[in-house]
Amino acid sequence: MTARVLPDEPRFASASEQLFVQTLQEQLPDDAVLFCNLRFSDRAEDREADLIVAWPGVGVAVVEVKGGSVSLQRGVWRQVGDGVDREIHPVDQAVACKYLLGNYLAEHPRWTAGRPRMAHLVALPATTLPAAFRAPGLARWMAIDRTDVAHAAARIRSALQQVREEPDPPTAGDVEDLVDCLAGTAIPQQHLVAWLAEQEAACDLLTRDQAKVLDLLAGRDRVEITGGAGSGKTWLAVEKARRLAAEGQRVALMCYSRGLAEFLRRRVDKLPKRQRPDYVGTFHHLGIGWGVPEGSDDDSRYWEEFLPAQMVSLARELPESERFDAIVVDEGQDFAESWWDAVLAALRDPATGALHVFSDEGQRIFARQGRPTVELESFSLVENLRNTKQIAGTFSSLAPGMRVRGLSGMPVRFVPCASEQAVDVADDVAAALLEDEDWPPESVALLTTHQRHPVQRERQAEGQDAYWATFWDDEDLFYGHVLGFKGLERPVVVLAVNGFRDEARAREMLYVGLSRARDLLVVCGDLELIRRVGGEAVARRLTTERQQ
């Protein structure tokens, strides 16, 4: 038995640091715990402790670990590694983290043992200190150099025994309480939020590279841009609408889904006023705004026959000022063939007016079929930019021809269960993400593939506008169905594969569900069902990621 290390797979700045931790782990008793890369913050500072050693009956040591070649000249510490020479402050860092840890425990509701015996040390596992080493704030017995690594645990014990005016060391029970208090702080929520923001920024930068596609197609008025999930189509649709509006054209930006329409409106609201399209919303709401009577959500004939026919008729009577120079359609594969005549009728010049369509045939999950009724020049996007490599790899077999270019991230998690249990299991997973892993509620969505989640049904009973407002609510996670989540994303998606209404469309629905997560994907369901509808490659990736 060896000491525990938390988190299970810590990251290290250098090989010597990793070897030092592994060697120390082997030297310590099995009731000791090593915490790696813990961040602490107060109102004044934000610090990361490289290593905290909690040793029952001995004490708590905060160790700043510096790999590479480290030297101290005229009171200035320097570190050379990977060809870089930098000034460092290992003693200040160790002392600051020791006090931040003490303050954190003093304010933690689960910690009742009082301040434990603590000491700070500096470990230099690749550097040999001179015999006459002296440093302000760091006695030789508080330093561990290359010659000390073989008995590092003994050095830590000796240091904790030498500190003066320190309280008693923690008991074995205290150390377990410490695990309870610290295990969730590897990425405290404020840092997790910052990390999510960095991930989003990095994705947006990659997505902005796609603007070169619009540059290439500038001046072409009738274009269809196709691409798989994560290729940045929605960003491009907004950007194309923005460019057209900035040129002084009257522009409509439309889609089928209410949720995506609200997302587009919120994106457009952030643009300068002169760059905003004149209409942003669903195709159907445009017609209702012209005067078509509203129909029932359950009346497919109304949506696919009556409304588009009425729109064509009403468009002829619209003054030219209410029609458009250009129309941009996102998720164009959702449009029925009967809708395209109404789209063209909304143009000032139906024969030559600009039409830009963004679509993904792999996400055609509705029974209706339809293609634009006019000829469009086609251009394909072949790079996935918005999903992590792990997530994109999971559904890559469902989107052949796409190259994965996104960031590396967390392994995809798979929780095996029967289809009828998938929602309950997903609830437990989501609760653990929020309560145990500290993910912000607004970063998480729980999606289903068949029956809607009970919470979704409750929220939709209050009306679609009220329901979709919860997508931007930071008080709770979002509950949705893959059918309504097309074109949207969340940093974290818990996908409950609770069966499929029509297995003929199951492959496309699974593709949509797997691709909605940007940073972390958790799949709950029956592996055999997933294999049957999604193929062996998807099932193999899910189980492989789970083993990792």
* 348-392 confidence digits (pLDDT tens): 999 999 999 999 877 766 656 667 888 999 999 888 888 998 999
Per the CB < 8 A criterion, the answer to whether 542 and 528 are in contact is no
Number of H helices, E strands in the chain: 19, 22
pLDDT confidence of residue 268: 94
> Is residue 188 scored above 50 in pLDDT?
no
Who's near 467: CB < 8 A, 6+ residues apart? 456, 459, 460
> Is residue 142 scored above 60 in pLDDT?
yes
- Residue 414 CA, chain-centre distance (Å), reads 17
Tens of pLDDT, residues 292-325: 999 888 888 998 899 999 999 999 899 999 999 9
Tens of pLDDT, residues 247-293: 999 999 999 999 999 999 999 999 999 999 999 999 999 999 999 99
Nearest to 257 by CA among 329, 312, 307: 329
CB atoms within 10 A of CB 314: 16
Residue type at 178? L
d(CA 535, CA 69): 51
H or E element at residue 241: helix 233-246
CA distances from 49 to 91, 94, 121 (A): 12, 7, 11
Who's near 364: CB < 8 A, 6+ residues apart? 333, 334, 508
> Is residue 43 scored above 80 in pLDDT?
no
pLDDT confidence of residue 199: 76
d(CA 25, CA 18): 11
Mean pLDDT of 153-179: 91
% of residues, the chain, pLDDT over 70: 95
Who's near 512: CB < 8 A, 6+ residues apart? 229, 363, 365, 482, 483, 485, 486
Nearest to 359 by CA among 387, 340, 341: 340
Locus of tokens 């790999």: 67
Tens of pLDDT, residues 217-237: 888 999 999 988 888 899 999
Who's near 508: CB < 8 A, 6+ residues apart? 362, 363, 364, 365
pLDDT confidence of residue 29: 94
> Is residue 42 scored above 70 in pLDDT?
no
Per the CB < 8 A criterion, the answer to whether 384 and 230 are in contact is yes
pLDDT confidence of residue 191: 58
CA distances from 171 to 62, 76, 95, 118, 164 (A): 17, 38, 23, 13, 19
> Is residue 53 scored above 50 in pLDDT?
yes
Per the CB < 8 A criterion, the answer to whether 95 and 137 are in contact is yes
**Interstrand relation of 403-404 and 143-145 (parallel, antiparallel or unpaired):** unpaired
Nearest to 478 by CA among 434, 445, 525, 438: 445
DSSP code of residue 291: T
Mean pLDDT of 482-502: 93
pLDDT confidence of residue 109: 76
d(CA 477, CA 432): 12
pLDDT confidence of residue 137: 83
Nearest to 82 by CA among 14, 10, 175, 5: 14
Tokens, residue 353: 């007016």
Tokens, residue 43: 């109102």
pLDDT confidence of residue 548: 46
> Is residue 19 scored above 70 in pLDDT?
yes
> Is residue 525 scored above 90 in pLDDT?
yes
- Name the average pLDDT for the chain: 89
pLDDT confidence of residue 299: 87
- For every residue of 339-360, DSSP letters joined together read HHHHHHHTBSSTTT-EEEEEE-
Nearest to 285 by CA among 316, 269, 309, 307: 307
pLDDT confidence of residue 366: 62
Locus of tokens 């497919």: 300
Task: Categorize the per-residue pLDDT at 187 as very low, low, confident or very high, splitting at 50, 70 and 90.
Answer: very low
For residue 294, which phi and psi values (nearest 5 degrees)? -75, 145
Residue predicted with more confidence, 243 or 81: 243
For residue 111, which phi and psi values (nearest 5 degrees)? -100, 120
